[in-house]
Amino acid sequence: MISRIPRSAPLPASLPPAGLDGLDPSFSRLVTAPESEGLSVTHQWHILDNGPRLAELGVTPVGTILCVHGNPTWSYLWRSLVSQATDAAADGREAWRVIAVDQLDMGFSERTGVSRTLPRRVRDLGDLTDALQLRGPVITLGHDWGGVVSLGWAVDHPEILAGVAVLNTAIHQPEGEAIPAPLRLALLRGVLGAATVATPAFLETTLALAHPPLAESVKDAYRAPYLEAARRGGIGGFVADIPVDDQHDSYPELARIAEALRYLAVPALALWGPRDPIFSDRYLDDLVDRLPHADVHRFEGAGHLVAEDVDYAASVLTWLGDRGTDLGALGTAAGNPSRFVTVPDVAEKDDDEDLDPNRFDEGYVKPAKQGPPAGLFRYLDELRDSSDTALVEMAPAGSKTPTVVTWRLLSKRVRQIAAGLTMVGVKRGDRVSLLVQPGADLTAVLYACLRIGAVVVVADAGLGVQGLTRAVRGAWPDHVIGAPAGLAAATALGWPGQKISTARYIKPVRRSLDVAYSLGDLVSLGVEEELPELPGPEDVAAVLFTSGSTGPAKGVVYTHGQLAALVDALSTAYGVGPGTGLVAGFAPFALLGPALGARSVTPDMVVTSPKTLTATAVAAAVAAVDATVVFLSPAAVTNVVATSGALDDADRAALAGVKDFLSAGAPVSERLLAAASGLMPNATAHTPYGMTEGLLMTDITLEGIRDAALTLGGPGGVCVGLPAASVRVRISALDENGDATGELSDEAGVTGEIVVSAPHVKDHYDGLWITERESRRGAPAGERWHRTGDVGHLDDQGRLWVEGRMPHVIVTADGVVTPVGPEQRFESVFEVARAALVGIGPRGEQQLVAVIETVPPAFGVSLATSALASAVRSAVDLPIAAVLVVPHLPTDIRHNSKIDRVRLGEWASTVFTGGRMTRP
């Protein structure tokens, strides 16, 4: 049974008072709707409806968006969507009618005096749409418990349904997990009535969840329908109607809706605020499990009131615009059943029956599977009986002696761990977060997960606790495999997933870390080596997180086919294959060693802190695998060069055997690359250009850089060479506002956003539909392209030059300026070690400020001396407003080498608006 639900005193519906912030009163109307099921009862509803305005404009809408608020809000929540949809229609764009309801006992709708449970609320909404004579196509949009009500209406109206969309909501409460703490508190005996009805505490608590805080006028608008206790009964009723267990009266209806969603194949959209203390990412994970085809976007920084935190309305209308005629074809006239939604009788379904949407829906087709991607597992299979070295771990925990792992042992461990993972419930498609330092354990676990079709989630510890937590929770893994430090953080911070440790622990430690199994347990369980079918190339293989240097780290999704294509690209570009010794001070390439058939080793270093790598450590790693290829990040190279004085004759002899030296991850200066090449005199020095979304896009050698340096004029920048095999590079030109609006072009000398395409470019961003859409903007239909966020140009030889990042483009009154070229010219001044160019002031009238590190380094922040400022200004043909000297330019978290120009620009703006000259 449900808790005793507070009832509202019967009160009629009314129109909202005039003057509510952002609400056009002309959209408000009252509608009378009879109750269904033969009762002679009618109710008055308040709704926001732009239909009459569209009629005045002479516009026929393409469909209707039916918006349902949750608790304790009202239709005011949807005001921006009503307004934006109307403005779009007035501008001649696609016209959508928006109907935003106040549920009965809520907002300015009638207070019925009757308890309204979930089944009744779903019927109520149907009664209203019947009274409105609503026709298709209809898109439902719900928030909070309005999400459940709207989806209940959706599965009951397949004949006019064209799509569903939700903001933060909960479709189902996972078994064995308590409902969110704030709701548990509100449901306590003696608290429910006082917190939700007698006082506005529940309402005020909800309003306080906005990020940033709501303006007082907006809060007043939300409060307007609930000023007296007599009008707040619906708030208490909604809370009491939360199905806390399967004995609750509303539980069967919630279960019916939740299960029916598995058969709902219309387009779906979920816009989510991850900072929600009520409907956390676990509810999004459940929703995606039920609607795997849904487009999802997580707005980092937004919370429960995501409709207030971000411009959700523009996202909804963009999503609808992308689907346009498809949605119109889905939603048909009333009475003509849609073939896209078939909901079986949940009560009669066999629990063991496979819930394959294809059994019920001819419009939903799973991708056809192709043959296995042999590229990732080829050498683990071909060399499974070889005693040759597969990888070396230079400094395993608790030992000073390197660990050598043969192909025979690595292949055996991968098979055993893979089988063991299957035994403990890890399934194809499950997400497995790896919190393990690069080495033998990580390599074996990674390939074991890939072998059984599990999706590995890799987030760099260099993101910091907050960034790593955001990344892991966003990916919502089913399992976590970690070393002690990683598992301790996962447990303390409440990261999701079954915990598996890399080492065996005594029972008290296992309990404290919430460890279910160890890798040793998996090996023991997997001795039979019974493995499932190989995953196909279209199966998702990995979610790799970006560095977070340009905002919150993004999850980048790769399929097995795309990773196999990356292996092929690296093998083609650098000849890495069986017999090659590979030193990888850059974790992604260390993990690809077995797929390449190479002997691989990670030097003795803290991988998340590249500056910990020394020259002697590189030499030792080279000697350990007789390496011919070395790959290091620019920050690591800087310290290797700085510590090269410690090399002895044996170290230098080992380094002389290197044939190819690569450094990538950030721009690498000719001076630094040349210094590193001096340590490896027989190596060809390369600096590939790429990003997490595409790890090898172009390549250039030291000789190529020197040749490019002879190029005079132009905007300058860092030359990153010619496209790698199978890679296409295009430029989307910048307009006068500094935005990349140009068509994709390979014309020489045009500055714009760099756009790339290749078989090994990412599949998509994880849970970032809007970001992914922008990433593919302007791409030819059916082709996979990626907007890199870098700005640059192609020269007449087809070489790519990088001029900075899109967020770093400066727009002055005289035109658009990209930073890297001017910075290079600043650095030609004798006293300048490093430089950054930033803009301060409003875009379009920004002033140019040079921020520099000097030789020797300055002790504090100051304006440059007149002589130094004059030299810096003389280096460029630009109006430099000021020159600031700092001890150290701020860099990104992961690479420790990319200048954080956004942070630097904000700091410079503060300095010139009266702030103190503290270090940036």
pLDDT for 465: 66
| Dmax (CA) of the chain | 98
Q: In 746-812, at which residue ranges do the beta strands (DSSP E only) sit? A: 752-757, 764-765, 786-794, 800-805, 810-812
Q: Does domain 25-173+245-330 have CATH number 3.50.50.60?
A: no
**The predicted structure's pLDDT at residue 354:** 36
Task: Output the pLDDT for position 608.
Answer: 66
CA separation, residue 151 to residues 119, 128, 295, 511 (Å):
12, 15, 16, 40
- By the 8 A CB rule, do 527 and 413 touch? no
- What end-to-end distance do the CA atoms of the chain give, in Å? 60
Report the pLDDT value the prediction gives residue 96, as an integer from 0 to 100.
97
What are the tokens at 563?
Answer: 């990773």
Here the tokens at position 424 are: 């403990």
903 Cβ contact list (under 8 Å, min separation 6): 890, 920
Query: Residue 524, SS3?
Result: helix
Segment 161-210, tens digit of pLDDT: 999 999 999 988 766 566 666 665 555 665 676 778 999 999 999 999 99
The per-residue pLDDT for 188 is 62
Residue 581's pLDDT is 94
* CA 106 to chain CA centroid, nearest Å: 35
Domain at 809-911: CATH code: 3.30.300.30
How many degrees, rounded to 5, is the angle at CA 235 between CA 232 and CA 238? 150
Q: What is the pTM of this model?
A: 0.87
Domain 692-759+769-805 adopts which CATH fold? Luciferase; domain 3 (2.30.38)
Residues of the chain under the 50 pLDDT cut? 1-3, 332-373, 893-896
Query: Do the Cβ atoms of 130 and 36 come closer than 8 Å?
Result: yes
How many angstroms separate the CA atoms of 614 and 612, rounded? Answer: 6
**Per-residue pLDDT tens over the stretch 122-167:** 999 999 999 999 998 999 999 999 999 999 999 999 999 999 999 9
What's residue 388's pLDDT? 95
Exposed / middle / buried, residue 252 (Cβ in 10 Å: 0-12, 13-18, 19+): middle
Q: Which residues does 537 contact at the CB level (< 8 Å), separation at least 6?
A: 370, 371, 372, 373, 559, 560, 561, 564
Instruction: Please tell me the predicted confidence (pLDDT) of residue 488.
Output: 85
What is the amino acid identity at position 654? Answer: A
Query: Strand, helix or coil at 89?
Result: helix
Distance of CA 256 to the CA centre of its chain: 31
Topology adopted by domain 377-573? Rossmann fold (3.40.50)
Q: How far is CA 697 from CA 92, 291, 299, 575, 631, in A?
A: 41, 34, 29, 16, 16
The three-state secondary structure class of 312 is helix
